Amino acid sequence: MNKLLSTLAASQSQFINFIRVAVFIVMAWIGGLKAFQYEADGIVPFVTNSPFMSFLYHNSGKTGINEEGKEVPQYKLHRNPEGKMVAKNIAWHKENGTYAFSYGLGTVIVSIGILMLLGIWYPKIGLWGGLLTFGMSIVTLSFLITTPEVYVPNLGGDMPTPNFGFPYLSGAGRLVLKDVIMMAGGLIAASDCAKRILK
């Protein structure tokens, strides 16, 4: 047991580098996917409901009438399920600026991931990567407050829905909540870089 404890204690710097590699993989993969239509469509509820980001879309705040005759945000009328291509919805997203924004966001995410990875060799660069990862995670976690789609909706059915709203996270909400780990990883990497710079 003591040998295991000693090995783990001696490997801390390698584990911090593993955090950097892990964050880079997540950032490069998810950021890279922002270049594809289905992923760009998927982030619309987050961006359009965010008080910090909604101005980046042309149709934020606009409403329309759904099939039930209810007034709803326009983006809800133009959702493309993952893997489905609907021409009128894609045209709406182009006019909204969905794809242009997504390309830019993807570039930023991949860049932050690269900065994190470079922290293995260059602590001054890695410090920025860690701090930016932390900051990006704060923005992402704010979606838990601003985006209705992060919680299970009450869609009704032939019996009452027992679990909906806060704290019942939907698939989108569970994805957002994981950024708590990214936040912690960013701070650990940044603090390690700071320690190396001070030496």
pLDDT (average), residues 184-192: 97
| Global pTM value | 0.92
Average pLDDT over residues 188-192: 97
- Tens of pLDDT, residue by residue over 72-129, are 999 999 998 888 889 999 999 999 999 999 999 999 999 999 999 999 999 999 999 9
Question: Do the Cβ atoms of 90 and 78 come closer than 8 Å?
Answer: no
pLDDT tens track for 141-176: 999 999 999 999 998 888 888 999 999 999 999 999
- For residue 166, what are its two tokens? 């806060």
Q: Which two tokens stand for residue 73?
A: 């945000």
Question: What digits encode the pLDDT tens for the residues 19-59?
Answer: 999 999 999 999 999 999 999 999 999 999 999 999 999 99
Measured at the CA of 37, the angle between CA 139 and CA 116, to 5 degrees, comes to: 40
Domains of the chain by residue range: 16-198
Strand partners, 64: 72
Q: Which residues contact 196 (CB under 8 A, 6 or more apart)?
A: 123
CA angle 191, 195, 196 (to 5 degrees): 120
Q: What pLDDT does residue 84 have?
A: 86
